[in-house]
């Protein structure tokens, strides 16, 4: 087991990792920017080291600062969390070269899955369904028009290095294709430093359903079921749950097997998520793979009883999985709501000092957060301030419990999206499980 | 404004619960803010850290004279000399020019020279040779213009 | 500005709950901020409730004149008359003696008479007949000695 | 189902009941004393009514105030929580007469079990083991000496109406019996208004192990396993856990069956706890029955997944149990620590304003509390300020998780017993499960 781990992140996920380390008897060292001197992760870790100024590019995204910090504090491993450098194969590669264990898959696998075109090709190789697509990166408009005609409109233009909806364009007619194609290329180049795009068929009103996998370094891979993450705002998930209202045991097995097949084919190690789109006929199509812990990982932890962050650390030390697929049990229903510091109507971020705080508690409620009363939320980073996670026997019980928990969540000094979350939870379609990724854009 | 006057004000403040004071002079303006028990909105942890990290005596003192602090531009290991055999770049009392190398911070096997932003005299060296330093950590005090 | 003057200001402050003071001089400007009891550093919710419950206009007004509040000695139902047919014990403007019955609070089927602690004039009746009241809830305002 | 419930309590248990009501769609009305105007239970309930001044005898213990409150707010039922009037058969009887549903057993059963002599007799009737005892209340010293000789020294003198160790005396020799007997009678009279005492054999270094039972109003009774509550200070439990380190499945079944037998014999309804002493040979002896929800009920909730407060409410509406004994599953290990506002060395209560607060969170941690940042803990009531409850796969994992959680519990403005709790959790004997009710008195 590791003696000391550096946590290359901040906020609730850094706190989450510190908690796992403490319970495992591993020393944790936090890194912080000058803006995070009084942040909870800085306070809770066994040690903390300032790595740069507030701006993320000069601190949490600064690879040489992080490596240097790891070296001076003499940590054996680094946990990247999610966001920041969590999917940077460059960072993982530097760690590998410096003899630091990066808690995640290899840099090679990260590079492969980081490119959506490569990832789709890998999925096709093992016959996982994908939406009809261009099968390659597209160089010019003509090429794009030819391909789109074959696929059939509407089509979606996507960035090869994409994520978070940037560089993505929906095109309904041939007339608007050329324009959209060039815009997507430009956006993609400026966002990811890579202008490569591809085209795939647009799926109407799909659900976003993902499979959690866990793979050790000895070739054992299991899946921990699905998470339904269709409630999104501009490609940012805000409510996640497990099980999905539309996935039964058989479908779960099929999706899980597909995810495992892909993971095995590419030599995946550590935890990861295979994302699928699902159409109204419950056909699922591989979308991409996230090579890190997800924001919504607690949803899976609550229904399976498996601590994913501890699994990550154990796997990284070379341990074998001690759970077999047939031992995985799914119990009850779990929902997670992401509480953001933002105006619930305009979605303008709302950083500032928290003057009053009362977090929800009691049975079946878990809160993962890095805020506290009198803490000032800095304006430099993400506006996720807390994840409220509830577990109950059934989906409707979980919904009632979540409404109760959000009702208790009392915060003064910053605005949050809690009123929006509560309205969604009370919505007739949401309660009936009639959701898709455009649910929120229709929601008034 | 004489240092003596400031010192006397400070000595007076030390024995009070005054947290903040503003004075303007020519018999106009005074502002006093006291730290009453429930006025301590800042967490104890913050206060503790603030004391530990920022209110070090050297630094507090440095405010009086024209003393500047050189901080570490990066995380790394602090070295006073270019090699174990070589003499240190500077000692306490050394007079340095702006741009003169004061020390090395090793980060990722790369030796980064830290230059003085000011001309003056080195009045204190705050870190031991070979010790790790974090970003922004004070390394030297330079009395500007002195020497 | 002399330290002596600042000291004298501070001596005055020490025995007060003044948290912040600003003075400007030449007979102009002064600003005083007090740290009120801990109960007032309370949450916005509390403040809201406090406003709802305690800062009712009638009560605020009552502080000016010699007006006393009669509160409910128990949880129950407020009745202005001994029976539905009978006239109310008192009306606004009624002059009452100390010990005179003002109303009835029914609790557990028992009728509890509430007597006036003061002699004076009823200036307001704060609860509707037949409404539930909680412990300590204001019922009447009596202008002491009036009438 | 009830439309509206009045909660005749304060603090964390009132909050716990409000949470259950909210999740069940039942309106909850809090009662509060003048000292509790800004208490969390007052703020969280759908309604709140002031019932008297700070002193408990004039507010939370004032039966006519409570009944009147129930009447004016038009509640159908009252939940007494624990403490205050929870075991007052007089209160339950008034409720019954006024047509208010008291959420608990009948006043008759409460009266019966409230008398330790009667309770022991009931247990003996159904052949549940009890320690050798006087079999009746004792009138004078001579009587006491005769009985003690038969039982054999050392003996324990106990109050018939006792609880919390008051009126209890340990006697090693005949010489000191008369004196102790008279003192016990006096103490008992002044504490409970009843001077009746009895004598039983003293059990050396026993464990306190209790069985949770759930009984509907149609004669169905199940048990939900045991709680080990041996870590006590002056008869006040401070750490509870389930399962007990010494109770295996067979022993659990036997103890559970004994508890069910007693409950059925006396016509018990709603939730209740049968307390046993266990000697070093793992023989168990009936001690008494608590006719209410216990402080430590979350321990059982976490290992069984059953919400005891919701069960209480459902049973009170006349619903039948929807769980059968064979469906009850025990999963993992749960520990609860009671955090008290007190000096960890002198145990002097430490009320006051909470200036800084950071409660533990993350996976497997539940906090039941009524405190918040800037709240002032009044000096009139109990000094329990929070229950930290952790669940994990194994006992040792739960201990590590609890240490981690208590380490995160940051509070300024009042002193707490957290340092003592952490020392116990790190104690070699505690970790080995070598505990008994005198553990803490030996603990330095």
D308 and D405 in a single domain? The answer is: yes
For residue D65, give Cα distances in angstroms to D45, D49, D96: 19, 10, 16
Terminal Cα distance for chain C, rounded:
58
Instruction: Single out the residue of B100, B103, B30 nearest to residue B73, CA to CA.
Output: B103
Instruction: Report pLDDT digits (tens) over C112-132.
Output: 999 999 999 999 999 999 999
The alpha-carbon gap from C20 to the nearest alpha carbon of chain B, in Å, equals: 4
A26 and A65 in a single domain? The answer is: yes
Is the distance from CB of B130 to CB of B78 less than 8 angstroms?
A: yes
- Residues of D within 8 A of C74 (CB-CB) are 52, 64-65, 68
Q: Is A201 a catalytic residue?
A: no
Instruction: Report pLDDT digits (tens) over D247-274.
Output: 999 999 999 999 999 999 999 999 999 9
- Tell me the average pLDDT across A201-217: 96
CATH number at residue A333: 3.30.470.20
Instruction: Report pLDDT digits (tens) over B63-78.
Output: 457 899 999 999 999 9
pLDDT of residue D64: 94
Q: Is B6 on the interface with C (CB under 8 A)?
A: no
Given a cut of 80, is residue D152 above it in pLDDT? yes
Given a cut of 90, is residue A11 above it in pLDDT? yes
CA atoms within 13 Å, Cβ hemisphere of D53: 5
Sign of CA dihedral D6, D9, D10, D12: negative
DSSP-derived secondary structure letter, A201: E
CA atoms within 13 Å, Cβ hemisphere of A303: 25
D253 and D390 in a single domain? The answer is: yes
The chain C residue lying nearest A410, using CA atoms, is C45
Instruction: Single out the residue of D55, D51, D82, D54 nearest to residue D67, CA to CA.
Output: D51
Nearest-angstrom CA–CA distance, D257 and D109? 19
- Residues of A within 8 A of D401 (CB-CB) are 23
A251 and A174 in a single domain? The answer is: no
The chain C residue lying nearest D58, using CA atoms, is C74
Query: What ipTM is given for this predicted complex?
Result: 0.80
A 336-375 residues with CB below 8 A of C? 355-356
Mutant choice from A31, A55, A72, A374 vs B, greatest count of B C-beta within 10 A: A72
The chain A residue lying nearest B71, using CA atoms, is A52
As for how many domains chain A has, the answer is 3
Is the distance from CB of A213 to CB of A273 less than 8 angstroms?
A: yes
Subunits with 3+ C-beta pairs closer than 8 A to B: A, C, D
Residue boundaries of the structural domains of chain C: 1-54, 61-147
* Continuous segment of H or E residues that includes residue A230: strand A221-233
Given a cut of 70, is residue C37 above it in pLDDT? no
Closest Cβ opposite residue B108 in set A38, A59, A67: A67
For residue A28, give Cα distances in angstroms to A8, A31, A77, B135: 11, 10, 10, 19
Given a cut of 60, is residue D326 above it in pLDDT? yes
Which one is predicted more confidently, C2 or D261?
A: D261
CA atoms within 13 Å, Cβ hemisphere of C119: 4
Please list, in sequence order, all residues whose beta carbon lies within 8 angstroms of the beta carbon of residue D184, skipping any fewer than 6 positions away: D157, D158, D159, D167, D168, D169, D197
Residue D114, domain member (yes or no): no
A297 and A261 in a single domain? The answer is: yes
Among A175, A201, A227, residue at a domain's last position:
A201
Given a cut of 70, is residue B46 above it in pLDDT? no
Whether the predicted model's global pTM rises above the 0.90 cut: no
Residue A115, domain member (yes or no): no
Instruction: Report pLDDT digits (tens) over D206-222.
Output: 999 999 999 999 999 99
Bond from prior residue into D243 cis (ω within 30 degrees of 0) = yes
- Tell me the average pLDDT across A433-438: 96
D189 and D219 in a single domain? The answer is: no
Residue A122, domain member (yes or no): no
Phi, psi of B141 (to 5 degrees): -110, 130
- Tell me the average pLDDT across A282-304: 98
3-state secondary structure of B96: strand
Strands of A80-220, DSSP E = 101-102, 155-159, 169-171, 197-201, 207-215
pLDDT of residue C114: 95
Beta-ladder partners of A231 = A239
Instruction: Single out the residue of C40, C19, C41 nearest to residue C31, CA to CA.
Output: C19
Given a cut of 70, is residue D289 above it in pLDDT? yes
Instruction: Report pLDDT digits (tens) over A13-24.
Output: 999 999 999 999
Angle made by CA atoms B70, B71, B75, in degrees to the nearest 5: 150
Catalytic residue (one of A292, A314, A338, A395): A292
Given a cut of 50, is residue B56 above it in pLDDT? no
3-state secondary structure of D203: coil
Beta-ladder partners of A52 = A33
Is the distance from CB of C70 to CB of C82 less than 8 angstroms?
A: no
Instruction: Single out the residue of D73, D69, D28 nearest to residue C135, CA to CA.
Output: D69
CA quadruple A28, A34, A37, A39: dihedral, nearest 10: -80
- Residues of A within 8 A of C45 (CB-CB) are 356, 410
Instruction: Report pLDDT digits (tens) over D350-373.
Output: 999 999 999 999 999 999 999 999
Rg of chain D over Cα atoms, rounded to whole angstroms, equals 21
pLDDT of residue D444: 74
Fold for C61-147, please state it: OB fold (Dihydrolipoamide Acetyltransferase, E2P) (2.40.50)
Terminal Cα distance for chain B, rounded:
24
Closest Cβ opposite residue A298 in set D25, D363, D367: D363
* Continuous segment of H or E residues that includes residue A232: strand A221-233
pLDDT of residue D393: 97
Residue D110, domain member (yes or no): no
Strand-pair category, C28-34 with C18-25 = antiparallel
Given a cut of 80, is residue B136 above it in pLDDT? yes
Mutant choice from B36, B42, B44 vs D, greatest count of D C-beta within 10 A: B44
- Tell me the average pLDDT across D283-292: 97
For residue A311, give Cα distances in angstroms to A20, A85, A95, A315: 10, 20, 20, 6
pLDDT of residue C22: 80
pLDDT of residue D230: 97
Residue D86, domain member (yes or no): yes
Residue D126, domain member (yes or no): no
Rounded to the nearest integer, the mean pLDDT of chain A is 96
Nearest-angstrom CA–CA distance, A220 and A236? 31
Instruction: Single out the residue of A77, A73, A17, A82 nearest to residue A45, CA to CA.
Output: A17
CATH number at residue D156: 3.30.1490.20
Distance of CA D388 to the CA centre of its chain: 16
Residue A173, domain member (yes or no): yes
Instruction: Report pLDDT digits (tens) over D94-124.
Output: 999 999 999 999 999 999 999 999 999 999 9
Residue A42, domain member (yes or no): yes
Rounded to the nearest integer, the mean pLDDT of chain B is 78
Is the distance from CB of D344 to CB of D406 less than 8 angstroms?
A: no
For residue D13, give Cα distances in angstroms to A122, A249, A409, D80, D205: 55, 39, 18, 9, 31
Q: Is C108 on the interface with B (CB under 8 A)?
A: no
Domain with A141, as residue range(s), is 132-201
A 411-430 residues with CB below 8 A of C? 412
pLDDT of residue A279: 96
Longest Cα pair distance anywhere in chain B, in angstroms? 60
Residue with tokens 């507010």: D59
pLDDT class for D163, splitting at 50, 70, 90?
Answer: confident
Nearest-angstrom CA–CA distance, A235 and A217? 32
A171 and A286 in a single domain? The answer is: no
For residue A336, give Cα distances in angstroms to A214, A246, A405: 21, 18, 11
The alpha-carbon gap from D9 to the nearest alpha carbon of chain A, in Å, equals: 17
A431 and A327 in a single domain? The answer is: yes
Instruction: Report pLDDT digits (tens) over A64-109.
Output: 999 999 999 999 999 999 999 999 999 999 999 999 999 999 999 9
D153 and D221 in a single domain? The answer is: no
Nearest-angstrom CA–CA distance, D348 and D357? 21
* Continuous segment of H or E residues that includes residue D225: strand D221-233
Instruction: Using a pLDDT cut of 70, give the percent of chain A over it.
Output: 100
Please list, in sequence order, all residues whose beta carbon lies within 8 angstroms of the beta carbon of residue A438, skipping any fewer than 6 positions away: A205
Angle made by CA atoms B27, B33, B36, in degrees to the nearest 5: 150
Bond from prior residue into B128 cis (ω within 30 degrees of 0) = no
Is the distance from CB of D427 to CB of D443 less than 8 angstroms?
A: yes
Is C20–B9 a contact, with Cβ atoms under 8 angstroms apart?
no
Helices D177-192, D141-151: inter-axial angle, 10-degree rounding = 110
Nearest-angstrom CA–CA distance, A426 and A404? 12
Phi, psi of A49 (to 5 degrees): -135, 130
pLDDT of residue B64: 56
pLDDT of residue C90: 96
Sign of CA dihedral A78, A81, A84, A85: positive
Is B42–A59 a contact, with Cβ atoms under 8 angstroms apart?
no
Is the distance from CB of A120 to CB of A139 less than 8 angstroms?
A: no
CATH number at residue A47: 3.40.50.20
Is the distance from CB of A11 to CB of A31 less than 8 angstroms?
A: no
What are the percentages of helix, strand and coil residues in chain A, rounded to 5?
Answer: 35, 25, 35
Q: Is D23 on the interface with A (CB under 8 A)?
A: yes
pLDDT of residue B36: 65
Nearest-angstrom CA–CA distance, A114 and A92? 13
Nearest-angstrom CA–CA distance, A76 and A92? 14
Q: Which two tokens stand for residue C19?
A: 């948290």
pLDDT of residue C27: 65
Which string of b and e fits A72-94 if b means at least 16 CB within 10 Å?
Answer: bbebbbbbbbbbbbbbbbebbbb
Terminal Cα distance for chain D, rounded:
51
Given a cut of 80, is residue B28 above it in pLDDT? no
Rounded to the nearest integer, the mean pLDDT of chain D is 96
Residue with tokens 């800085």: A42
Nearest-angstrom CA–CA distance, A54 and A289? 30
pLDDT of residue A41: 98
Instruction: Report pLDDT digits (tens) over A413-434.
Output: 999 999 999 999 999 999 999 9
DSSP-derived secondary structure letter, A163: B
pLDDT of residue A198: 96
Mutant choice from A23, A26, A312, A314 vs D, greatest count of D C-beta within 10 A: A23
The alpha-carbon gap from D393 to the nearest alpha carbon of chain C, in Å, equals: 39
A215 and A157 in a single domain? The answer is: no
D155 and D216 in a single domain? The answer is: no
Q: Which two tokens stand for residue B93?
A: 């009392």
A50 and A167 in a single domain? The answer is: no
Is A366–D367 a contact, with Cβ atoms under 8 angstroms apart?
no
CA atoms within 13 Å, Cβ hemisphere of D258: 29
Sign of CA dihedral B113, B114, B120, B121: negative
């Amino acid at each position: 087991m590791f003696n000391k781990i550096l946590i290359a992140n901040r906020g609730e996920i850094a706190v989450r990792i510190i908690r796992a380390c403490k319970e495992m008897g591993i020393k944790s060292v936090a890194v912080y920017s000058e803006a995070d001197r009084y942040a909870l992760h800085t306070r809770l870790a066994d040690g903390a080291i300032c790595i740069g100024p507030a701006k993320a590019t000069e601190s949490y995204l600064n690879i040489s600062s992080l490596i240097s910090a790891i070296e001076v504090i003499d940590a054996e491993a680094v946990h990247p969390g999610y966001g920041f450098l969590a999917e940077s194969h460059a960072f993982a590669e530097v760690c590998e070269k410096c003899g630091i264990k990066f808690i995640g898959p290899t840099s090679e696998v990260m590079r492969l899955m980081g490119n959506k075109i490569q990832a789709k090709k890998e999925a096709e190789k093992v016959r996982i369904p994908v939406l009809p697509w261009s099968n390659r990166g597209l160089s010019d408009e003509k090429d794009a028009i030819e391909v789109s005609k074959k696929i059939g409109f509407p089509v979606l233009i996507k960035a090869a290095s994409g994520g978070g909806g940037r560089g993505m364009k929906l095109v309904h007619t041939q007339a608007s294709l050329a324009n959209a194609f060039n815009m997507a290329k430009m956006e993609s180049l400026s966002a990811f430093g890579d202008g490569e795009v591809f085209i795939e068929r647009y799926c109407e009103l799909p659900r976003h359903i993902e499979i959690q996998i866990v793979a050790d370094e000895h070739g054992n891979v299991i899946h921990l079921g699905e998470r339904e993450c269709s409630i999104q705002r501009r490609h940012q998930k805000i409510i996640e749950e497990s099980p999905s209202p539309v996935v039964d045991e058989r479908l779960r097995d099929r999706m899980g097997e597909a995810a495992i097949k892909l993971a095995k084919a590419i030599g995946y190690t550590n935890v990861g998520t295979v994302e699928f789109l699902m159409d109204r006929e419950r056909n699922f199509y591989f979308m991409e793979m996230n090579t890190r812990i997800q924001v919504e990982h607690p949803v899976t932890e609550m229904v399976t009883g498996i601590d994913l962050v501890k699994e990550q650390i154990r796997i990284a030390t070379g341990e074998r999985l001690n759970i077999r697929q047939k031992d995985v049990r799914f119990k009850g229903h779990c929902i997670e709501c992401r509480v953001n510091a933002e105006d619930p109507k305009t979605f303008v971020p709302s950083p500032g000092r928290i003057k009053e705080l009362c977090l929800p508690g009691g049975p079946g409620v878990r809160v993962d957060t890095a805020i506290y009363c009198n803490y000032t939320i800095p304006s430099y980073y993400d506006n996720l301030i807390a994840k409220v996670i509830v577990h109950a026997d059934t989906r409707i019980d979980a919904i009632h419990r979540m409404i109760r928990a959000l009702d208790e969540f009392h915060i003064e000094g910053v605005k949050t999206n809690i009123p929006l979350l509560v309205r969604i939870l009370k919505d007739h379609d949401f309660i009936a499980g009639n959701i898709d990724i455009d649910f929120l854009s229709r929601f008034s | 404004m004489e240092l003596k006057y400031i010192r006397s004000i400070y000595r007076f403040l030390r024995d009070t619960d005054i947290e903040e004071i503003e004075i303007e002079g020519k018999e106009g303006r005074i502002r006093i803010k006291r730290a009453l028990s429930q006025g301590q909105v800042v967490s104890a942890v913050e206060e503790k850290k603030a004391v530990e990290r920022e209110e070090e005596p050297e630094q507090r003192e440095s405010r009086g004279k024209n003393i500047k602090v050189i901080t570490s531009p990066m995380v790394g290991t602090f070295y006073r000399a270019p090699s174990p055999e070589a003499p240190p770049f500077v000692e306490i009392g050394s007079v340095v020019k702006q741009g003169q190398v004061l020390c090395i911070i090793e980060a990722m096997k790369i030796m980064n020279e830290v230059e003085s932003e000011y001309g003056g005299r080195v009045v204190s060296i705050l870190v031991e040779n070979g010790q790790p330093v974090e970003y922004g950590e004070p390394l030297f005090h330079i009395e500007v213009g002195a020497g």
